[in-house]
Amino acid sequence: MSNKVYDVLKWIVLVGFYALNYLWTELAEVWSFPYAVEIGKTITIVGGTLGIIIGVSSVKYNLKVKAEKSSEIETENESEIVIDEGNEEF
What pLDDT score does 90 carry? 46
pTM score:
0.71
- Number of domains making up the chain: 1
Share of the chain above pLDDT 90, in %: 49
- 13 class by beta-carbon count within 10 Å (0-12 exposed, 13-18 middle, 19+ buried): buried
Determine which of 2-6, 21-25, 77-81 has the lowest per-residue pLDDT on average: 77-81
Instruction: For the chain, count helices (H), then strands (E).
Output: 3, 0
Q: What's 89's DSSP letter?
A: -
Task: Say whether pLDDT at 75 is over 60.
Answer: yes
- Residue 62 falls within a domain, yes or no? yes
> Is there a contact between 54 and 9 (Cβ–Cβ < 8 Å)?
yes
Please give the residue range of the domain that contains residue 74: 3-84
pLDDT tens digits, 10-27: 999 989 999 999 999 999
Q: What is the mean pLDDT of residues 28-51?
A: 96
